[in-house]
Amino acid sequence: MNSTFFQLGVVLLERGRAQQALAYLDKALEMDPDHQQALLNSAVLIQESGNAALRPVAVSRLLRLVQKDPQNERVYFNLGMIAMDDNDHKSAENWFRKAVELKEDFRSALFNLALLLTDDGRPLEAAPFLNQLVKHHPDHVKGLILLGDIYINNIKDLDAAEKCYERILAVDPGNVQGLHNLCVVYVERGELLAAESCLARAHVIAPTEDYILRHLNIVRSRLAKYNGEQQLTESSVPPEAEDKDNLPEFHEPRQASLLSARQKKSVGDNSNNSFKNNERRTKDAASANYADQSSSKNVNHNKLKSDQSENSKQLGQRESRALSSEEEKKKQA
């Protein structure tokens, strides 16, 4: 009978009736408190519902699963997601680390851990996890964006940052965020002609993005100033050699760009009757902006933010995925 309740819960969830699905999963657990699939899926449903009052129930069910199956990385990952919802960043970090220890290519755990560390002011600790992420998932655009950001701001390796953005454009030639950040690399190098061409291309792709046009005008203004000075002095120094310290600061606009945890369901199942594999989708995490003022030459990227309506504090961007064993096999294949 408990299996019947569980199957009904799965069917209802696939039909988008999450509240009724949770009720049937609860019934399955009344019949069999150790039903592992019902424990996991009900816990994730509670987490995604955004009902803070029920989070202790979800945590209790996940901890019960830890006792029964301490090698299930998805359990630790979802404990981390709940800790993030509770604004307990230390616990979230520990749970994500445990998930990554058990599954080195765990896409969502790697990404969320890296973002958590970055948001905590520890980008150099985040970089190895991002490199691990893109090693196993070379087309992970958001991971490449964040890694490029760290290469520019913290590691000061423009060549490595350029490779990140070029990889993004190889996967998605129309990715404005990746293209714009590549333009930033050119500005950092003082390659204003290349930056102008790059930003002009970005403007064609995204003509409604005001910040791109504004940045393009900044670069063109700087080039015009140089050309005017050159006519007066007949200087032979190319624009690429222009002192970057005199350029306006290039940095990214503040924007809460991520969906909250409860806006995207991501429920896993260990049985063949698995839930759909949904990864939390996010808006662009690092679309950049230039400050229209004279400042340092560095690209100051604002941190990627996660919009969590449960509290006013914003954390790092998050992805959520709880795969069934069948789906995991397909991904690994």
Give the mean pLDDT of 70-75.
Answer: 96
> 315: helix, coil or strand?
strand
93 close to 118: Cβ distance less than 8 angstroms: no
Residue for token digits 């905590």? 120
Q: Is 92 part of a structural domain of the chain? A: yes
Does 16 score more than 90 pLDDT?
A: no
Q: Is 110 part of a structural domain of the chain? A: no
Q: Is 113 part of a structural domain of the chain? A: no
User: Rounded CA gap, 143 and 141, in Å?
Assistant: 5
CATH number of the structural domain spanning residue 74: 1.25.40.10
> 294: helix, coil or strand?
strand
User: Rounded CA gap, 270 and 284, in Å?
Assistant: 32
User: Rounded CA gap, 224 and 133, in Å?
Assistant: 42
Does 18 score more than 60 pLDDT?
A: yes
State which residues form the domain around 60: 1-102
User: Rounded CA gap, 99 and 189, in Å?
Assistant: 39
Does residue 284 or residue 29 have the better pLDDT? Answer: 29
**Residue 85 binned pLDDT confidence (cut-offs 50, 70, 90):** very high
Does residue 275 or residue 331 have the better pLDDT? Answer: 331
10 Å CB burial of residue 50 (0-12, 13-18, 19+) is: middle
172 close to 141: Cβ distance less than 8 angstroms: yes
**Residue 227 binned pLDDT confidence (cut-offs 50, 70, 90):** confident
172 close to 140: Cβ distance less than 8 angstroms: no
Q: Is 230 part of a structural domain of the chain? A: no
The DSSP string of 206-267 is: -TT-HHHHHHHHHHHHHHHHHHHHHHHH-----GGGS-GGGSEEEEPPP---S--GGGS---
21 close to 250: Cβ distance less than 8 angstroms: no
Q: What angle do CA 118, 121, 122 make, to 5 degrees?
A: 65
CB atoms within 10 A of CB 12: 18
Q: Is 41 part of a structural domain of the chain? A: yes
Domain count, the chain: 1
Residue 315: per-residue pLDDT: 26
Residue 291: phi and psi, rounded to 5, are -80, 130
Q: Is 42 part of a structural domain of the chain? A: yes
What's the mean per-residue pLDDT of the chain?
77
93-102, 161-170, 236-245, range with the lowest pLDDT: 236-245
Q: How far does Cα 316 stand from its chain's mean position?
A: 7
Q: What is the token pair recorded at 312? A: 């006013």
Residue 228: per-residue pLDDT: 82
Q: Is 159 part of a structural domain of the chain? A: no
Does 64 score more than 80 pLDDT?
A: yes
Q: Is 321 part of a structural domain of the chain? A: no
The β-bridge partners of 294 are: 248
pLDDT by residue (tens digit) across 89-146?
999 999 999 999 999 999 999 999 999 999 999 999 999 999 999 999 999 999 999 9
